Amino acid sequence: MTPLILLLWACRADLGEPSYPDPEPWVDDTGSSALLGPDPYVEGERRLSLAIFYEGGASEVDPTDHFYIFENTFSVNPSDERIEGLSSDLWVHTGGPWWGGGIFWDEARDLSGWTTLNVDLRAPAEGGLSGVDLGLVGGAEGRVNAAAAGFSADGEWHHLVIPLADFAAAGADLALVTSPLVVAGEGGAEGDVLYIDNLYLE
Q: Phi/psi class of residue 31: alpha, beta or left (left: φ > 0; alpha: ψ in -120 to 50)?
A: left
Do the domain assignments include residue 34? no
Do the domain assignments include residue 197? yes
The enclosing domain of 104 has a CATH number of 2.60.120.430
Do the domain assignments include residue 61? yes
Task: Identify the domain containing residue 146 by its residue range.
Answer: 3-11+18-25+43-201
Could you tell me the pTM of the whole model?
Answer: 0.84
Do the domain assignments include residue 37? no
**Cβ pair 19, 68 in contact under 8 A:** yes
pLDDT in tens, 157-198: 999 999 999 999 999 999 999 999 999 999 999 999 999 999
Do the domain assignments include residue 113? yes
What is the domain count for the chain?
Answer: 1
Whether residue 17 is predicted with pLDDT greater than 70 in this model: the reply is: no
